[in-house]
Structure 1
Amino acid sequence: MTTERIADHIKFAYWVPNVSGGLVTSDIEQRTDWGYDYNVKLAQTAENNGFEYALSQVRYEASYGAEHQHESTSFSLALLLATQKLKVIAAVHPGLWQPGVLAKFATTADHLSGGRFALNIVSGWFKDEFIHLGEPWLEHDERYRRSAEFLQVLRKIWTEDDVDFRGDFYRIHDFTLKPKPLDLPGRPHPELFQGGNSTVARRNGGLYADWYLSNGKDFDGVTEQIVDVRDHARTVGREVKFGLNGFVIARDTEKEANDVLREIIEKANKPAVEGFRAAVQQAGNSTLDKKGMWADSTFEDLVQYNDGFRTKLIGTPEQIAERIAAYRKRGVDLVLCGFLHFQEEVEYFGSKVLPLVREIEDAESGSVGAPVLASA
């Protein structure tokens, strides 16, 4: 088995800080703000510094250091209307959205933005949000079965007329959406992202999504997931792109970068991290093979709540560029970046790290063979 394909150029996305507290659950100083004005400026900075995508987070109530949050779909549309090139991905939960209604919203956003709106289908890890809103809470594999139907319904509504879908979770009868999303070259409908670590998440990603998003991983961890997801895609004649989460600490010296990491962890908001761990690890450990998200995450991993430290994008621009290039050779198509001080660090990344990545890619052009599968 191989990952089969290496991207010509790896793409970059950033987490939209539309949730208070930034991307780490720590009391360290963060020059990042969750408000609209800050995020508009950040989106414009990002698209002018080589970032092609942004991902808006979704939480519905105060929790684990995230006391305030803006809703993801409306916030994403606002950022799209304030930018020219950036693609913005809105995270959404099946069970809290009806797929036909979301398909309509997404189509409108797609037209208003010239085809730059995308969705990340989040199967749901935070039980209290569903319970407090009076919605049923499904067990892990059932949540992913629902997401599988959700992804199928979205795609059918966007590409077909007189849609009829009869699943266990959604029943659509003779439904036609007009207008359809913009039919752009290589992209007949808004891109569909889906994340996860578990066996059923990988199956969903391979069979139904355009992109699979992984929590932070080392080289072996990411390769194992890529192989699995693409094996599922191959069974139905599809191709799925792969995105990897990573928290970036790029500094002029390795010592500076490691000092920042150490300070983030030393100043962790321990009650918030422990509360988050208790909430999420029941989800990962509820899978039969214990491959679910966060199942083996340590306290230090969860200070960055998507295991972003594990990707080890921490050091000098040269060290980070080399590691990103190595992930590309293992089949990663996109790196989803988190930062401590977003505005200035996005600029630093764009001026110092990204050009080095492109230099490595250009030097390897035409000489890269099969994807690397061994440890490094």
Structure 2
Amino acid sequence: MKYGFWLPIFGGWLRNVDDENMPPTFEYAKQVVQSAEKWGYDTTLIAELYLNDIKGIEHDSIEAWSTAAALAAVTDKIEIMAAVRPVFHNPAVTAKMAANIDHISNGRFTLNVVSGWWEEEARQYNGDFTEHDERYKRTEEFLDVLKGMWTEKQFNYKGKFYEVSNAHLEPKPVQRPNPILYAGGESERGKQVIVDACDAYVMHGGTVEEIKTKVENMKALRAETGKEPLQSFGLAAYIICRDTEEEVVEEWKRITDMKETSGYSGYEDFVGKSQLEQQVKLNDYSVSNRGLRPNLIGTPEQIADRIIEFENIGVDLLLLQFSPQLEEMERFSKQVMPLVEEKRKLLGQG
């Protein structure tokens, strides 16, 4: 199992807790990532949203790509995965930027391709927000251009959304043929784009049974394309790790105690503009990315057991959220990661 975490670019992950002691600043982000390298984390995912979807649109947030480049320069080992949304980007320019960050990081830069769901944000930032299936058509073309620019000496392309003529991109990325392309999607259209054009699948939080079905489905869809199997299956999850079950319940109640807050301003677009496989309730939405559904909640022993359950059904990357970030990341690295390894060895899986 690889351990990743979402970079806290919004000031936290809890929509109904005002101050999580996680300032949305580059200095704090740098401290988190550099500490994570020491604690054994493998990946950080930097979400790309121009408005703060967690604390409310009037609050501070950090831009993803400039942050990714800066973190690439001050780290040594960790994979830096930046989200990219085609509705806001020129794909040829994005390919050039990605290749440059890949060189800055010496081959540690990857992309999480997100077709987008927040119409209000697109309106404010002049994104070309279209209907659901049209967004995925754009994503297909966007990926065509990225990969063409990264692999061909001189690239030409003409599609519905993009046109590129005799384009050169040098130097090519460090990673060949391309930086890993992660993507998530739950609609049939979205999943088809992923199996046709991406390298790895990332999922919102779900139960073991829900995730098992998704992994099996995506493996079958990928096999139908005749391509190599997907390289990785990642899962978002929020961690509540405490010494006793009583403490766990107390923390769970604290973070899901619903209240009126502008952090829920994107809720209607998220559930209405996406085609989700599981119904999302406001209680799920109180923690971003359905982080509570995997139930990585409990004592270190209980969480380690559940991680092995996910590993056994094909999940090989956890994209974790913590609050407060530094304190809980360190606790997880010292109390849970070693337990998973011990349990794996006892089961003959190490």
Establish whether TM, by shorter chain, passes 0.5: yes
Aligned to 2:145: 153
Figure out how many residues of one structure are paired with residues of the other and give that number.
Answer: 346
Deviation string 1:70-125 (CA, Å, 9 cap, x unpaired) is 11011011112111111111111102111110110111111111111111111111
Give distance in 2, aligned partners of 1:174 and 1:28: 51
Q: Judging changes above 3 Å, is the alpha-carbon distance between structure 1 residues 31 and 110 closer, same or farther for their aligned structure 2 residues?
A: same
Q: How does 1:207-226 map to 2 (within 5 A)?
A: 207-226=196-215
Aligned to 2:26: 36
Residue 63 of structure 1: CA displacement? Answer: 4.8
Alignment of 1:24 onto 2:24: no
Letter in 1 for 2:346: A
Give TM-score, length-normalised by structure 1: 0.87
Tell me the SS of whatever aligns to 1:95.
Answer: helix
2:290 to 307, 318, 321: 307
Q: How does 1:274-353 map to 2 (within 5 A)?
A: 274-284=264-274, 287=275, 291=277, 296-353=279-336
Q: How does 1:111-150 map to 2 (within 5 A)?
A: 111-150=103-142
Give TM-score, length-normalised by structure 2: 0.94
Aligned to 1:373: none
Aligned to 1:258: 249
Aligned to 1:47: 37
Aligned to 1:14: 5
Residue 348 of structure 1: CA displacement? Answer: 0.7
1:246 to 224, 237, 252: 237
Letter in 2 for 1:93: R
Residue 26 of structure 1: CA displacement? Answer: 1.5
CA contact (8 A) 1:192 1:209 kept: yes
Q: Judging changes above 3 Å, is the alpha-carbon distance between structure 1 residues 35 and 269 closer, same or farther for their aligned structure 2 residues?
A: farther
Tell me the SS of whatever aligns to 2:240.
Answer: strand
CA contact (8 A) 2:6 2:321 kept: yes
Deviation string 1:133-171 (CA, Å, 9 cap, x unpaired) is 333321111111211221222122112222222322222
Gaps of 5+ in 2: none
Aligned to 2:218: 229
Q: Judging changes above 3 Å, is the alpha-carbon distance between structure 1 residues 152 and 358 closer, same or farther for their aligned structure 2 residues?
A: farther
Gaps of 5+ in 1: 1-9, 368-376
Residue 301 of structure 1: CA displacement? Answer: 0.1
Aligned to 2:347: 364
Residue 177 of structure 1: CA displacement? Answer: 1.0
CA contact (8 A) 1:212 1:242 kept: yes
CA contact (8 A) 2:18 2:55 kept: no
Give distance in 2, aligned partners of 1:257 and 1:28: 20
CA contact (8 A) 1:119 1:193 kept: yes
